[in-house]
Chain A
């Protein structure tokens, strides 16, 4: 996936000279995960910038760059560091269009690795997507495989609005996948049906998608036919695909790494109850991070949504 992300940026930078890359260690070092590897060599130091260590500065200057005609791709080194830049994201970037009643727009992409299971220090693993879905004006995109990563990132770069592009670091090198060499786009706001099924709908996004897909395949051999949907974008949200699936299966599980209370799963559950309550045969089940700070590495596997918790949830749904 990391190569797909790198290729998307490289091809877009070749296409559009307004695109620049900025962030901590993105130049000489090519990013701490090598997402920007080789970009400095190819595009030079007037397109790729190792910035001072200041997250608010990275986002705030990206806003100014964008309103004056550039197309910045900013990197926040780990999503847990984004709190430092929350004003510039939620109160500034998100509102430029609104604050100027349409005179200015803020086409920036903020890339950030996130998600758990890789034994990081504190505040490197937190899934904070709900902070951004609660900030009107931002778009929130979360790929779960190399093909989607490239197509979604190219769409994000070409988008006229600020986009949070959240990259599950566990999946950076988790598996290989054929990705077309030429540039292509995947529209923001289209969910992907990973596996069709009619017994239960599992809605998930980002790092938990491969886990859920694997479990669903195993369940299939035991006679449980789960439909797995990777939302891919939380804002804009593909509500039609969600509701169509719920109406087919009548049973819903939502899986995400973020803490449960106030997580985006709660919003999805509320939307389903507003639009398809009478299609439900069972209460909606949410499998999420517990309502604690992201824990220490020695216990994170028990904190994260895992195979055991998800299987248990499916059995609960099927009891009804």
Chain B
């Protein structure tokens, strides 16, 4: 009999919460790499905190912060090639930035502009998915196309623990394994789907073990350890690119903030729990390591934070200074060519716009 209680799922960790780790494993990472990972995570954190504040000030719309999940996002994105495909949910801002999304682009999105929906040409980032787990199937299809065309890109589906309850997740895992396509299912288990905790989401002790039922490899990684996430993702990417098929990665992490700016997490989480996870902060442990090695100082930290703050301000100002689209534009993106009845509606809107323009 298969007994889930007998299944041993070990968590991959290289750097613990105090910045310590196996020297041999740590030696695989150059100082430059460590500094880059830290800089990218710090940049992401500063951006996230600014966006949260800007929403409170009414300068942007609803926002889903990712603070606490920087290692999972930056570590996984660092292991990708620029032409690999990313299928994000709405909490993957750091992934998208790391993969090349201009920050100004994101401001267009959170300011509710049509231009915010269009990723620049050449960036293989699919539009932000709102429906939970729907993008997992798109990633599988995209990877399938790469395989059929004999191209070497991998596709990555990003999603959270809640998404693993959706039917699309299971269908995607199944299709991916049956067709052995180069896709990676990257689950950030931040332990809450809005207010619903992991234990109410699934009776499975880990998400990683769900892979077995589909005939796929699964791995559980400390999602707050950017080194472990990178190393795990790199292995998955190499395997997928090498024709070994899909993999499920569960990055165990914690959302330090609310689900979105419309949510009050104190209603469903005890402050002690949040404090416990603050001690496991993904930035803290890497900074400890960097400082111990004499690679990072408080002055450098302050300079970086100031620099990113300037970057955010500049991106925000560029976004608001750019021309905002109008209602007329929405008719252009429904079909390749607007059918007659739709074209009539567009003309009606244009006539009204012209009239009000005259007044």
Contact = CB atoms under 8 A, between A and B. Distances in A.
**Chains A and B belong together in one complex:** yes
Contacts of B175: 51-52, 54, 57, 61
A102 B171 contact: no
A49 B148 CA distance: 12
Interface string A228-243: 0000000111011000
Contacts of A161: 335-336
A186 interface: no
B178 A52 contact: yes
Contacts of A70: 145, 148-149
Given A52-B178, A60-B134, A92-B131, A65 B141 contact: yes
A64 B137 contact: yes
A68 B83 CA distance: 12
Given A67-B126, A189-B339, A237-B341, A56 B167 contact: yes
Contacts of B155: 64
A64 B332 contact: no
Interface string A85-121: 0011001100011111111110000000000000000
Nearest to A59: B137
A137 interface: yes
Interface in A1-28: 20
Most buried by B among A69, A101, A160, A236: A101
A155 B158 CA distance: 35
A57 B333 contact: no
Contact of B168 (A20, A56, A97): A56
Interface size on B, as a range, is: 35 or more
Most buried by B among A56, A61, A92: A61
A77 interface: no
A137 B137 contact: no
B247 to A, nearest CB: 17
B341 A60 contact: no
B140 A236 contact: no
A63 interface: yes
Contacts of A54: 171, 174-175
A46 interface: yes
Nearest to A67: B142
Interface stretch (B117-125, B188-196, B266-274): B117-125
Nearest to A94: B334
Given A61-B144, A64-B143, A99-B117, A237 B137 contact: no
B152 interface: no
Nearest to B157: A64
A159 interface: yes
Contacts of A235: 339
Contacts of A237: 339-341
Interface residues of A, number: 48
A68 B131 contact: no
A201 interface: no
A62 interface: yes
B85 interface: yes
Most buried by B among A91, A103, A271: A103
Interface majority SS (helix, strand, loop, mixed), chain B: helix
Interface majority SS (helix, strand, loop, mixed), chain A: mixed
B142 A159 contact: no
A229 B139 CA distance: 42
A136 interface: yes
Contact of A64 (B114, B144, B171): B144
Contacts of A72: 141
B146 interface: yes
B215 interface: no
A50 to B, nearest CB: 10
A251 interface: no
A139 interface: yes
A137 B131 contact: no
B172 interface: yes
B197 interface: no
A304 interface: no
A57 B340 contact: no
A28 to B, nearest CB: 15
A100 B118 contact: yes
Interface in B330-346: 330, 332-336, 339-342
Contact of A239 (B167, B334, B341): B341
A98 B333 contact: yes
Contacts of B201: none
Interface in A29-88: 46, 49, 51-52, 54, 56-57, 59-70, 72, 87-88
Interface string B134-170: 1011111111111011000001000000000001100
B64 to A, nearest CB: 17
Nearest to B123: A103
A239 B340 contact: yes
B115 interface: yes
B127 interface: yes
Contacts of A69: 145, 149
Contact of A92 (B134, B143, B149, B179): B134
Given A61-B141, A63-B141, A91-B134, 10 more contacts: A56-B137, A60-B138, A61-B175, A64-B141, A65-B148, A67-B141, A69-B145, A97-B335, A100-B126, A235-B339
23 contacts: A20-B148, A52-B178, A54-B171, A56-B137, A60-B141, A62-B141, A63-B138, A63-B141, A64-B141, A64-B155, A65-B148, A66-B141, A68-B85, A70-B149, A72-B141, A91-B131, A97-B336, A100-B117, A102-B118, A102-B333, A189-B340, A237-B340, A239-B341
Interface of A: 20, 46, 49, 51-52, 54, 56-57, 59-70, 72, 87-88, 91-92, 96-105, 136-137, 139, 159-161, 189, 235-237, 239-240, 271
Closest 9 pairs between A and B when the two form their complex, measured CB to CB: A64-B141, A60-B137, A236-B339, A57-B171, A68-B145, A61-B141, A101-B118, A64-B142, A160-B336
